[in-house]
Chains A and B, each alone.
Chain A
């Protein structure tokens, strides 16, 4: 092996040149650690998002608070109205056949909307 004496000024210049063109190993390590940390964070975030998608898929979106109740109650009310119409005709027919002034003698069944 041959050793050559290099003037310190030149050495310093070469070092400066190298430093300005290449990242030192310590910085490389730090960069890799940062990238690794970032990957881990992204992975955790992705898992959380996946869990959220699964949860949303499994839970149907809740209806507007009153929709079900209103639909149910409206349907029931309409059933009652239609039934009342039948009962009204029944009473009208009975009055017609009984003649003027008669009061129909109704049964005991509850009137749907009475």
Chain B
């Protein structure tokens, strides 16, 4: 792989061994659509390691053996790429970047990043906004990134919105981040300007420790994407921008509760489709409704009929993505047995007692937060959430076994 930056425009060319179909860090196969993308409004004099890591968040799935950057990187970043992916990176000549002092929040506006924002009320936001790609027709206009950007702007926080078409470099499964970390590409390029030493993401317990989403669905202390000692954690650290997961130890029930009780509650939006509010009809709205209904201890309120395609998933046996939250919801939502989740009830023996561990914070997640920002998160989560007991910790550590 050879990458070239012209300002914020990234162009990359495949080496002979590279192929159109690659694999993301979570082993999910991803197909390349096109080899250019732009990240708008970023400085062109950022440290070369920042350009290198930002490029890597886009090209990693399609790079097999080596990557050649258009400017020399530090030995630290080259070593992180070699150790993490077995990839030879070069040229190597730059001095490593000094770790900055500030922490910014990669802010999407969803409940998880709002919860992260509640923990660090003074941290600035960097918001990634999808814009169309000039060479790839936008077949997904229902994704209202403009609405999310406006909501982010109304929070009143110090905000930098980074507009980018990098998601259109991905053809399949559909436009999206080639690696989960590509959401940070703009923040990385802004890291010198913002003096960043850390970037906080809203990834929560399920993503960090339970192998959630399209990942492994088992306890993952060595999660390659989010563990500080994982490939990505070490690479970001080598570029002086540590990955910080302030809500990495709490479930989506807790992030939902924190978000809906926070000053930013009026701007929380997990739905990518709705304009005046969440659409309530998409699969994500349905999933989040389970969590919200459980947190608010009220019946499920959804316009989605049990006969719809979105409900079909819940007629199948597990595993589901976010399975721990389904169990949490089944145990708490009054009248759940009369909804589309009736069938799913057969597969769980969830009770409030058996899912109470999801109301508390997994303590090792606090140890993973770099020292400059650890105490603030620990104090907040100890006060507002509470730490898991040893038996509760065991529930995390035996997940999926």
Which residues of A approach B to under 8 Å, CB–CB? 75, 78-79, 82-83, 85-87, 89-90, 93-94, 104-105, 107, 109, 112
Contact = CB atoms under 8 A, between A and B. Distances in A.
B14 A83 contact: no
A78 B137 contact: yes
A112 B35 contact: no
B14 A89 contact: yes
Given A75-B139, A86-B14, 12 more contacts: A78-B136, A82-B135, A82-B136, A82-B171, A83-B34, A86-B32, A86-B35, A87-B20, A89-B35, A90-B14, A90-B18, A112-B20
A86 B16 CA distance: 11
Interface of B is mostly: loop
Residue from B2, B14, B16 whose CB has the most chain A CB atoms within 10 Å: B16
A89 B139 contact: no
A34 to B, nearest CB: 46
A82 B171 CA distance: 10
A71 B2 CA distance: 33
B33 interface: yes
B351 interface: no
A79 B35 CA distance: 12
B325 to A, nearest CB: 33
Given A75-B137, A83-B33, A109 B13 contact: no
Nearest to B2: A93
B64 to A, nearest CB: 10
Nearest to A76: B171
Interface of A is mostly: helix
A107 B13 CA distance: 16
Interface residues of B, number: 20
22 contacts: A75-B137, A75-B139, A78-B137, A82-B34, A82-B171, A83-B32, A83-B33, A83-B34, A83-B171, A85-B34, A85-B35, A86-B14, A87-B14, A87-B20, A89-B13, A90-B13, A93-B15, A104-B16, A107-B19, A109-B19, A109-B20, A112-B20
Contact of A94 (B16, B19, B135): B16
A107 B16 CA distance: 8
A79 B15 contact: no
A100 B285 CA distance: 58
Contacts of A93: 2, 13, 15
B165 to A, nearest CB: 13
A109 B64 CA distance: 14
B16 A90 contact: yes
B12 to A, nearest CB: 9
Contacts of B13: 86, 89-90, 93
Interface in B269-304: none
B353 interface: no
B17 interface: yes
B126 to A, nearest CB: 29
A89 B16 CA distance: 10
B139 to A, nearest CB: 6
A70 to B, nearest CB: 13
B354 interface: no
Given A78-B137, A82-B136, A107 B17 contact: yes
B176 to A, nearest CB: 15
Contacts of B376: none
A10 B135 CA distance: 102
B171 A79 contact: yes
B21 interface: yes
Contact of A109 (B21, B35, B137): B21
Residue from B2, B17, B33 whose CB has the most chain A CB atoms within 10 Å: B33
A100 B15 CA distance: 18
A77 to B, nearest CB: 11
Contacts of B33: 79, 82-83
Contacts of A85: 34-35
Nearest to B14: A90
A105 B14 CA distance: 14
Contacts of A86: 13-14, 20, 32, 34-35
Contacts of B32: 83, 86
Interface in B16-38: 16-21, 31-35
Nearest to B35: A86
Nearest to A97: B16
B34 A90 contact: no
B69 to A, nearest CB: 16
Contacts of B14: 86-87, 89-90
Contacts of B136: 78, 82
Nearest to B11: A89
Residue from A79, A86, A109 whose CB has the most chain B CB atoms within 10 Å: A86
A35 B72 CA distance: 94
